[in-house]
């Protein structure tokens, strides 16, 4: 144990067990640390050694090995909530939902506040108010924030027991709109009401719910939102076709389909059973080249920043499944959008401030496209949209300056709200 404590003094990063896995990167000396920790694990069954090994494996992108190491640590010491939480988050990355739920429940039963494990020092302490859910179902701000400037504390707000909190300068409601988030929203509203400085009023999340968004943005000229309704499973068989249908609270295209026939509807309901579904009309956004282009903008304190443009031959456009990585031409189109979004969205400077005002959140994003007549069709708005940096040696490295703009705007917002709270 003495050797492990000495190792932690040399590599304090190894204490970061409750940080979102993709936010953990290799550090100088990681290979030497791995050798020493692996040696310790081979000689004894000390839980701390396996937790440190799991942390190294995460940083190297070896998530299967990381889960095995953290699971060993958590099972050897069930009182270690951080090891259990790490298991839950890594299992989520690996799409092992049962393991993720099991270890998340175990972690939250013991601990609901996860303070930044490194000394706060001169960093601004920020409290993320979160749902009892994986990092990707919350707002994954750790993938964007500069943790050399902010200390990130986490509070999973759905528990009943009063929870001591570390000192913090500003609280951020760090989850989005979802029917499954209603308990978290209610608790966050009560909590945020008593904080001197806060970002994102939980009471405004309802404005970006899929079934509310069309009403929220209805008065903005040049913006189109297909009205969305919620249908119970018993009524879903009789919806008007054609229609877009997806189970409530799903994302990233899970169970999402454009249905044109009764047989297709029946098969879809059988394949994706759910108590309730979102139903909306299909809006054709294909351009003159036959391609679909969907952009994401991130709003920070009323200003819209372009984040990405995905181009694909199919109507359901997702950045990861689009041919962006394989096509230099499409990447050039994305960079042109990032450089000057006004060339793509002619009324950008007029429309985006109106969207920010109507939504009323300081931090959120939209996924949208441009119709042939220049109107903007918005598919989704949410406070939990993913923003992350790119590796310097990746083909998408050209996006780094644009991500940096969003990061700097968020840090400026945190600084501003902190100063207001000190008055």
Render pLDDT for 223-267 as a digit per residue (tens, 0 to 9). Answer: 999 989 999 999 999 999 999 999 998 877 788 999 999 999 999
Asked if pLDDT for residue 206 goes beyond 80, the answer is: yes
Q: What is this structure's pTM?
A: 0.95
- CATH topology for the 227-280 domain: Dna Ligase; domain 1 (3.30.1490)
- Identify whether the C-beta of residue 133 lies closer than 8 Å to the C-beta of residue 102: no
What integer is the mean pLDDT of 273-293?
94
Q: What is the pLDDT of residue 422?
A: 64
Q: What is the pLDDT of residue 274?
A: 95
What integer is the mean pLDDT of 16-24?
96
- CATH topology for the 292-405 domain: D-amino Acid Aminotransferase; Chain A, domain 1 (3.30.470)
What integer is the mean pLDDT of 369-394?
95
Q: What is the pLDDT of residue 8?
A: 93
Q: 234-243: long-range contacts at Cβ-Cβ below 8 A with a sequence spacing of 24 or more?
A: 236/265, 236/269, 236/277, 236/279, 237/265, 237/266, 237/269, 239/265, 239/279, 241/265, 242/281, 242/282, 243/279, 243/280, 243/281, 243/282
2-104 falls under which CATH superfamily? Tetratricopeptide repeat domain (1.25.40.10)
Q: What is the pLDDT of residue 1?
A: 62
Residue 310 to residue 295: CA distance in whole angstroms: 6
Predicted confidence (pLDDT) per residue in 129-170, tens digit:
999 999 999 999 999 999 999 999 999 999 876 679 999 999
């Amino acid at each position: 144990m003495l050797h492990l404590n000495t190792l932690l003094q040399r590599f304090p990063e190894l204490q970061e067990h409750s940080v979102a896995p993709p936010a953990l990167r290799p550090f100088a000396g990681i290979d030497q640390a791995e050798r020493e920790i692996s040696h310790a694990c081979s000689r004894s069954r000390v839980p701390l050694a396996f937790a440190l090994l799991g942390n190294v494996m995460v940083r190297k992108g070896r998530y299967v090995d990381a889960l095995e190491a953290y699971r060993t640590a958590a099972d050897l010491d069930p009182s270690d909530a951080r090891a259990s939480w790490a298991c839950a988050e890594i299992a989520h990355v690996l799409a092992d939902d049962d393991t993720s739920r099991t270890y998340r429940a175990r972690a939250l039963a013991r601990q609901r506040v996860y303070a930044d494990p490194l000394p706060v020092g001169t960093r601004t302490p920020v409290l993320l108010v979160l749902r009892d859910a994986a990092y990707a179902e919350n707002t994954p701000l750790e993938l964007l924030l500069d943790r050399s400037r902010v200390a990130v504390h986490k509070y999973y707000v759905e528990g009943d027991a009063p929870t001591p909190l570390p000192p913090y300068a500003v609280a951020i409601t760090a989850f989005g709109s979802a029917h499954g988030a209603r308990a978290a929203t209610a608790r966050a509203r009560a909590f945020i009401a008593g904080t001197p400085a806060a970002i994102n009023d939980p009471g405004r999340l309802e404005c970006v719910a899929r079934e509310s968004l069309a009403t929220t943005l209805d008065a903005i000229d040049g913006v189109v939102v297909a009205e969305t309704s919620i249908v119970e499973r018993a009524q879903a068989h009789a919806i008007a076709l054609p229609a877009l249908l997806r189970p409530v609270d799903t994302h990233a295209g899970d169970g999402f389909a454009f249905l044109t026939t009764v047989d297709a509807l029946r098969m879809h309901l059988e394949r994706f059973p759910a108590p309730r579904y979102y139903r909306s009309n299909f809006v054709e956004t294909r351009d003159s080249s036959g391609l679909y282009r969907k952009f994401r903008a991130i709003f920070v304190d009323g200003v819209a920043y372009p984040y990405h443009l995905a181009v694909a031959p199919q109507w359901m456009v997702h950045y990861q499944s689009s041919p962006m990585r394989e096509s230099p031409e499409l990447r050039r189109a994305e960079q042109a959008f990032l450089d000057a979004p006004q060339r793509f969205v002619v009324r950008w400077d007029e429309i985006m401030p109106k969207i920010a005002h109507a939504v009323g959140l300081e931090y959120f994003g939209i996924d949208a496209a441009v119709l042939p007549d220049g109107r903007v069709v918005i598919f989704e708005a949410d406070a939990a949209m993913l923003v992350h940096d790119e590796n310097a040696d990746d083909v998408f490295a050209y996006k780094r300056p644009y991500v940096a703009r969003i990061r700097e705007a968020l840090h400026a917002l945190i600084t501003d709200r902190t100063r207001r709270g000190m008055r």
